[in-house]
Chain A
């Protein structure tokens, strides 16, 4: 087998050196009755070409040739081929967690650069080396706020991504956290009146997302003020990081939980992505996950090490800030490479293109009779529109024209049945936006 570097003769030599007559002897500690006598019933062995063919066949059964208008937490953005050139280098791809700093300086410096970029983007003082994704980053941010305030109630905007809220609920059930949802107002932003009413001095965190699930940009200042006035922490979740190329960051936030998928990570049917937690220096000892810190060696040379490890599971065990061990390091590296390629100007330009294309798309769609804009508030690259009929039916008609239509909001938000979340990024050509508008018009002209 091509992954096994042994010849039969070498195996014999090694067995002889051990003093065993057969390999079975080396498994003698497993009780006889539990040792398998037959081979596992799994397909293979496949040669390299057969493996490739298998996956090509699966790829052909997916959405090739369709243009998508889906966002909702996973975004199509341009990625440079340079990113893969770097992360496919064996020294990055096949190396381990950098516990032995002297032979992992490449990984450690890259993490330090990632932490810096994430801090700069989010307007915070410090960021960690990654969490699993945005949804678990948000959950861990809430748990962090719970530890820091000693309080048990959490107010989460209903306009936060539905799956993020589900993940938070799953974790909250077992940690005694009481999660309450704050509704959205008529313009799609968090209902500030309802928030104020709910805010008592037992709230650990107020959690909002911006742009929120409907694409609407939330006003940070008044929300942060309300939260802080009652001693709660202000936690901001960000699912579309490219927005930070144009939008001012949540510097009022105590903790930011961001999904880094938009920074050079392919959609890949939902993962692997990379979560980010960013916060203030004074809270760093309550931050979960790994941290790379700058230091010097015995000759005064600059180097980097994993630091503040006493927060983590391998030292603190049951008192750790989190159980996380393996994170999303290679994805964070991809994001680091991607962002250094884009640079200051590139990210800003990408964000501007997203905004412009989304505005263009909205204006085209509003020309269609029956299509209405749902929320009258600023947006970035996603917006919500209302159709005169079921979104699912419209989407199945669009599908016949090789268009993957917008996200139907009716399932997570029953009061928004017939509303759809449209996403347009820099990757959507004008011609496709116009084709989408044309196809939608035709779909709505069909008899019901």
Chain B
């Protein structure tokens, strides 16, 4: 799966798409692949504040739970309600329909320090070589 060029990426495998001061956040194809079949997602409610680098929710497979870390700080505007009934969307469309939350960023400029698509692809390629098959 391609990594959208206009998204930014974190080392913990989240993506963020910014339009003005509103951002959409999700987890990457690499993350969903590592996790396996997603069975449940726990997301914050609208109005909740998220802090850059801190966990704001979890994604669960049958045998594991992964924290989701905020790429940037802000206030949650909306959480993707469809994921409650169809968590498998995260596996099939992690960069599109399975967005997790929309936030109003406190500091939109901070995004520029995150990896772009090319840097993220290089990062996960390097990680793939480090770990044993």
Are A285 and B40 interface neighbours, CB within 8 A?
yes
Render B20-61 as a binary contact track against A, CB cut-off 8 A, 1 for contact: 000000000000000000011000000000000000000010
Q: Is B125 in contact with chain A by the CB < 8 A criterion? A: no
Chain A residues with Cβ under 8 A from B64's Cβ?
310, 315
Interface size class of B (residues with CB under 8 A): under 10
Distance of A316 Cα from B61 Cα, bound (Å): 12
Distance of A392 Cα from B67 Cα, bound (Å): 59
Q: Is A247 in contact with chain B by the CB < 8 A criterion? A: no
Q: Is B110 in contact with chain A by the CB < 8 A criterion? A: no
Of chain A, the residue at the smallest CB distance from B58 is: A310
Are B40 and A315 interface neighbours, CB within 8 A?
no
Q: Is B63 in contact with chain A by the CB < 8 A criterion? A: yes
Q: Is A172 in contact with chain B by the CB < 8 A criterion? A: no
A contacts with B, residue count (CB < 8 A): 6
- Shortest A331–chain B CB gap in Å is 28
Render B55-78 as a binary contact track against A, CB cut-off 8 A, 1 for contact: 000001011110000000000000
- Shortest B64–chain A CB gap in Å is 7
Contacts across chains A and B counted by CB atoms under 8 Å: 15
Interface secondary structure of B, over-half rule: loop
Interface secondary structure of A, over-half rule: helix
Are A309 and B40 interface neighbours, CB within 8 A?
no
Chain B residues with Cβ under 8 A from A310's Cβ?
39-40, 60, 62-65
Chain A residues with Cβ under 8 A from B39's Cβ?
310
Chain B residues with Cβ under 8 A from A309's Cβ?
62-63
Render A315-344 as a binary contact track against B, CB cut-off 8 A, 1 for contact: 110010000000000000000000000000
- Shortest B103–chain A CB gap in Å is 22
Distance of A316 Cα from B62 Cα, bound (Å): 12
Distance of A310 Cα from B63 Cα, bound (Å): 6
- Shortest B119–chain A CB gap in Å is 32
Chain A residues with Cβ under 8 A from B40's Cβ?
285, 310
Sampled A-B contacts (15; CB under 8 Å): A285-B40, A309-B62, A309-B63, A310-B39, A310-B40, A310-B60, A310-B62, A310-B63, A310-B64, A310-B65, A315-B63, A315-B64, A315-B65, A316-B65, A319-B65
A-B interface, 10 closest residue pairs, ranked by CB to CB distance from nearest: A310-B60, A310-B65, A316-B65, A315-B65, A315-B63, A315-B64, A309-B63, A309-B62, A310-B40, A310-B64
Other 10 A-B pairs with CB < 8 A, given A285-B40, A310-B63, A319-B65? A309-B62, A309-B63, A310-B39, A310-B40, A310-B60, A310-B62, A310-B64, A315-B63, A315-B65, A316-B65
